[in-house]
Amino acid sequence: MITKEQIAKFIEQAHRVGKERLQLCSSGNLSWRVEENTALVSGTGSWLPRLAEENVAICDISTGQRIDGPKPSMESVFHLGVLRQRTDMNVVLHFQSQYATAISCMKNKPSSFNVIAEVPCYCGSEIPVIPYFRPGSKELADAVTKALTNHDCVLMSKHGQAVCGKDFDDAFQKAVFFELACSIIVHAGEGNYLTLTEEEIQDLNIYILGKSGK
């Protein structure tokens, strides 16, 4: 049973997309697992920064079907696909942020986004880049779901980025740090920036994240 409090929280979190300057107009969508097999998904064509209750769809995660509310975002297929694959994650966020989208349109995309420590620590040391597929297509849904099965962030060529998180703060943190890394890369220019070495990333894993060095 979805409560008004859960819908209100979803709307509040959707508005963060505008506050974090991650999205323009209707470009972007959000989903949240509220029960084991039920998710809230932003409605098709809705503007996340001013999402309202009538823009919130309730969907069955296992079947991908709408239970109640408006038609969910055209990208709900990969949102629900990721939630099916990643039982450790409860939020999926997709948007066209300025710098990630700029890089997604580059001919020569970076092989590494590890320009700041926050990327390997929170986003993952490897961020896959998938080819262009039409927005809303099965091909895009399959590619994003596959990429986020073993990673937490993905760059979609000529489109934007998507992230998954344990909760809203986790998802937004990954999105913001990835966007920051992309802004550094864009401002520095091709070949004019440094990335962390494997040794430096391992050092972060041990001393920042507390992972075993063995």
pLDDT for residue 210: 83
pLDDT for residue 1: 84
Q: Is 183 exposed, middle or buried (0-12, 13-18, 19+ CB in 10 A)?
A: middle
Alpha-helical regions (H) of 20-93: 76-85
Percent share of the chain, pLDDT over 90: 86
Q: Is 76's pLDDT higher than 70?
A: yes
Beta-carbon contacts of 25 under 8 Å, excluding residues fewer than 6 positions away, are: 47
Average pLDDT over residues 35-46: 95
Contact (Cβ atoms closer than 8 angstroms) between residue 166 and residue 110 = no
C-alpha dist (Å) from residue 99 to 96, 135, 181:
9, 19, 9
**Among candidates 100, 83, 96, 121, which has minimal Cα distance to 24?**
96
| Confidence band, pLDDT 50/70/90 cuts, at residue 212 | low
Q: Is 213's pLDDT higher than 60?
A: no
pTM for this predicted structure: 0.93
Fold of 4-207: L-fuculose-1-phosphate Aldolase (3.40.225)
Q: Which helix (H) or strand (E) holds 2?
A: none
Q: What's the mean per-residue pLDDT of the chain?
A: 94
Please state the domain extents for the chain: 4-207
CA R_g for the chain: 17
pLDDT for residue 17: 83
* pLDDT, tens digit (0-9, with 9 covering 90-100), for 78-117: 999 999 999 999 999 998 999 999 999 999 999 999 999 9
pLDDT for residue 18: 75
Contact (Cβ atoms closer than 8 angstroms) between residue 135 and residue 77 = no
pLDDT for residue 82: 98
Q: Is 25's pLDDT higher than 90?
A: no
pLDDT for residue 27: 80
CA dist 130 and 142 (Å) reads 11
Average pLDDT over residues 40-44: 97
* pLDDT, tens digit (0-9, with 9 covering 90-100), for 155-198: 999 999 999 999 999 999 999 999 999 999 999 998 899 999 99
3-state secondary structure of 214: coil
Percent share of the chain, pLDDT over 70: 99
Sign of CA dihedral 158, 164, 168, 173: negative
pLDDT for residue 211: 76
CA dist 190 and 102 (Å) reads 13
